[in-house]
Structure 1
Amino acid sequence: MSPPPAEVPPGLARYAALDQRLLAAVRPIRILPTVAWPASLEDRMIGDYAAGRLALPQVRYGPPDLSAARAELVAIEREAGHEDPLGDYLCRTAESWRIAAEMLEAAGTAGVTAPSIVLYGHPGDLIPGSSKSNLDAARYFVDLADELGADLLADEVAGTIAAEQLRGELAQTLDGFFGAGVIAVEVDPELTAKAAAGATRIRLRGGTTFTDYDRHQLLAHEAYVHSLTALNGRAQPLLASLARTSPRVTATQEGLAVFAELMSGAIDISRLKRISLRILAIDMALRGADFVEVYRFFLERGQSVADSFHSAQRVFRGVPPTGGAVFAKDNVYLSGLLAVHTFFRWALKQRRMDLLRHLFAGKLALHDVVALEPHFTSGAIVAPRWLPPWMQHVHGLAGKLAFSLFVNRIHMGRVQAEELSLGL
């Protein structure tokens, strides 16, 4: 198990107290449960859609009253101030939770759209360091996957793993990495997602089967990023909130998790296509496409009826299914991946591998890793106890990043096949 948290450094106790107030204030703010659809509705509608009966879903939401939470978050923002990086961290985090509260209070209306875009980004946002947008990147990966599709079929794993068998395999691996019993692996027949991870528990959906690729992805994405950063965050002596994913760190957390898949070889072009299609679907819905049109978009691109329904559902969680409104969270997977990849390359160029290690000290945004550096140096924020396997081999990571830094200087538009063949 993790060691007990150290003492809060003298002079910083007020930030620790504000952080505790922050955690108490955000307890009733439950983003995904508030916008989730009833499982019974999903099952019935998937059956209807499979039979060709396409109708707009009728979903009722229960918007919570979060006025007390919002008032307390405003007070925390005011009291934290921006004089110290810790205060700035608390202000930014409290603000993001306040925006999330406003979003949830609008559940069932188009009023969810604007705050969700503030929190999770817009398909048209530019990629850091580029003139291309998230939407441009999404189109690129979808087109590339379509071009390679016929060649990818042979790479698919034919065998399947039952949930109970996978539970045992994951438990054994995680016990060996984190220690016996630190992270429990459970099979949950009521889980709607295929898998879900917390600090001390990973759940697998019962009654389904998994591929060997799924196993590698669950380890890289869920266990060695989401669970790992939560455990490291729990060990922080000053900022207990680093164990919890605030809305403002969602893009970094999900981007880091997908980046981990990339670094550990647990991602393929089909996965990139799936997360890219979601961005195209968000853009469609923002431009007026309704639920049925978005469903057909996924279906026409090779997804099954159930997967197409669930993919469309992700876009319309918490908003009317009639078009023009979205829940923008799925924007973060690709945009976060691109931002994290750029950050890793930048840190390598600056010879700052320490910043990359600090990224795993808790649920941090990329901004936090740089801004909070003085408190990492002082020890007020402690270095991570655990790092993913691929981060423990610094020379291998540096080799991959150094290679990508150099080859990015090669302009593919200037490359001719004849030159390549003559050069060998």
Structure 2
Amino acid sequence: MIKREELQEINEQAVSLIQKVDLLASLTWPKQLEIDFLENWRTGNPKIPKPEYQAMSQDMTDIRDHLEKLLSRLPSDDPLSQVTEETIGSYIDAISLIEQRGTARFGDLSIEVYGRPGDKIPGTQVTNLDAAERFRRVADSFKHPFVEEPEECLPARVVAEELERGVASMGNLAPKILVVPDLVAKAAASPSQVKLRDQTCFNRYDGPQLLVHEVMTHSLTAINGQHQSVLKVLGRGSPRTTKTQEGLATFSEVITGAIDIQRLDRLALRVLATELALDGADFIDVFEFYLENGQTPQESYRSTVRLFRGGIPEGGSVFTKDSVYLDGLFKVFALFLWAFHKNRQSIIHTLFCGRVTIEDCFTLEEALLDGRLDQPKLLPEWYQSIESLAGKLAFSVLNTAINTDELETYFDSISR
């Protein structure tokens, strides 16, 4: 078994290397492309954007070589070494994606790393695409005058002030809240800061959602990972952890009541749009798909960019990261139910020790219990209220045992 000091040294060296590998930043499109596309679209002559990606400031080949040397020093018989190895390997995947930007190979690699909508949710015969289509049908049936997205436009600075109040409970570990231009997503989180996209309309639901999703999940798990004494790589989010991290963040929205039906509908739309693009739709086709499903021109453009960044806007090669949200949500929800039913809350506790996958939780559970893995420094408030959480989970189990179709038949019979 590897010595603790050597594993710590490998982790520290790995972190110094992988912090130079920023996949999402490398896929950024310039603001001018948005301005030009929307101007052309408004005149009835939309043109497919042709992004040019900036050269990386660091030599990715050199970083890969150093990471591979670190891999050669790791044994396979130790759980902490195993997670270190898989995290380093995932960053090598990220380097490969960066190197293949704008090519068909990028799309193939993306599917290998993130999967695709047609993949089955583990343990079921249901695909992510099936789940998205089913949810859209349910969402459509719920639409009525009392369930509508609020027609309001809160500036980013107002939401930033709300988040600043929310992070106060994190003390001196709280991330800074910044308003910045040119983000692809509405928000992005790291251990030290949460960025909000300027010149964007937010609504009343965004503040609570961003607090539990970006701050109390993404920033929190990264902070906890950074404070690991040995497993420092848990402070960095790698492609392999995306599904679990987005699933946990979305689950936190659900369990706290912060989520709204339009938000879930947007997540389902991303899955459908990904499948559409994989079937050959180009940038304009996907843009129009989002328009037809109620998004504004600006949000439709930005949603489409999320999908085609790194790929080929003419079609055939896309970034499939957005297809993991629903899959991750179902898996995290099922994990919570399983862990509470089996009295294995230590599995759930491991979920907050850093940026991990669900599989890592099982690998690292014993290390958490015997002290080789440090306890998380921060926990979200909803998880600390364990009795309330248990009650919500227990009700969800009871609810699945009730035949709602039979209840609907009963209500129909007494409806006037």
TM norm. shorter chain > 0.5: yes
When structure 1 is superposed on structure 2, of 273-282 and 61-70 the one drifting more is 61-70
Identify which range, 141-150 or 125-134, moves more after superposition: 141-150
- Structure 2 residue aligned with 1:384: 376
- Equivalent residue, structure 2, for 1:66: 60
The 2-side partners of 1:61 and 1:308 are apart by 22
Q: Deviations over 1:285-321 (max 9, x none)?
A: 1111111111111111111111111111111111111
2:172 aligned with 1:187: no
- Structure 1 position 112, deviation (Å): 0.6
Task: After superposition, give the CA deviation of every residue in 1:22-59 in whole Å (9 maximum; x if it has no partner).
Answer: 22332332211211111111222122223322221111
Q: 2:109 aligns with which of 111, 115, 135?
A: 115
1:169 correspondence with 2:153: no
User: 1:134 is aligned with what amino acid?
Assistant: N
* Distance in 1 of aligned mates of 2:75 and 2:14: 14
- Give, in whole Å, the separation in 2 of the partners of 1:75 and 1:180: 36
Task: Select which of 53, 72, 77 maps to 1:83.
Answer: 77
Structure 2 CA distance, aligned partners of 1:319 and 1:205?
23
CA distance in 2, matches of 1:242, 1:148: 40
Q: 1:320 to 1:163 in 2, by over 3 A?
A: closer
Change in Cα spacing, 1:165 to 1:151, as seen in structure 2 (3 Å) is closer
Alignment of 1:100-111 (within 5 A): 100-111=94-105
**Does the alignment pair 1:367 with 2:362?**
no
- Name 1:272's counterpart in structure 2: 264
* Alignment-mate amino acid for residue 67 of structure 2: L
- Corresponding pairs, count: 412
Change (3 A) 1:160 1:310: closer
Q: Which residue of structure 1 lines up, in the alignment, with residue 280 of structure 2? A: 288
Cα deviation for residue 354 of structure 1 reads 2.3
How big is the shift at 1:353?
A: 1.8
* Residue pair 1:100, 1:116 contacting (<8 A) in 2 also: no
In the TM superposition, residue 190 of structure 1 has moved relative to its aligned partner by 4.8
Cα 1:372/1:231, change in 2 over 3 Å: same
Shift of 1:212: 2.0
What percent identity do the matched residue pairs reach? 38
CA distance in 1, matches of 2:105, 2:171: 45
User: Of 141, 144, 168, which residue of structure 2 is paired with 1:150?
Assistant: 144
User: 5+ residue gaps in structure 2?
Assistant: none
**CA distance 1:87–1:44, change in 2 (3 Å):** same
Rate the CA distance shift 1:220–1:50 in 2: closer, same or farther, 3 A.
Answer: farther
Q: CA deviation at 1:92?
A: 1.1
- Which residue number corresponds to residue 135 of structure 2? 141
TM-score with structure 1 setting the length: 0.91
Q: Quote the offset at 1:62 in angstroms.
A: 4.2
1:152, distance to aligned residue in structure 2 (A): 4.8
d(CA) in 2 for partners of 1:160, 1:419: 38
Deviation of 1:166 after TM superposition, in Å, equals 3.0
- Following the alignment from structure 2 to structure 1, what is the Cα–Cα distance between the partners of residues 284 and 411? 49
Who is 2:121 aligned against?
A: 127
Partner of 1:92: 86
1:391 is displaced (CA, Å) by 0.5
CA–CA distance in 2 between the matches of 1:165 and 1:233? Answer: 30
* CA drift at 1:111: 0.7
What is the TM-score normalised by the length of structure 2? 0.92
Q: Deviations over 1:246-296 (max 9, x none)?
A: 111111111111111001111112111111111111111111111111111
Relative to structure 1, is the Cα distance of residues 295 and 206 closer, same or farther in structure 2, using a 3 angstrom cutoff? closer
The code of the aligned residue for 1:329 comes to K
Q: Which runs of 5+ in 1 are unaligned?
A: 1-9
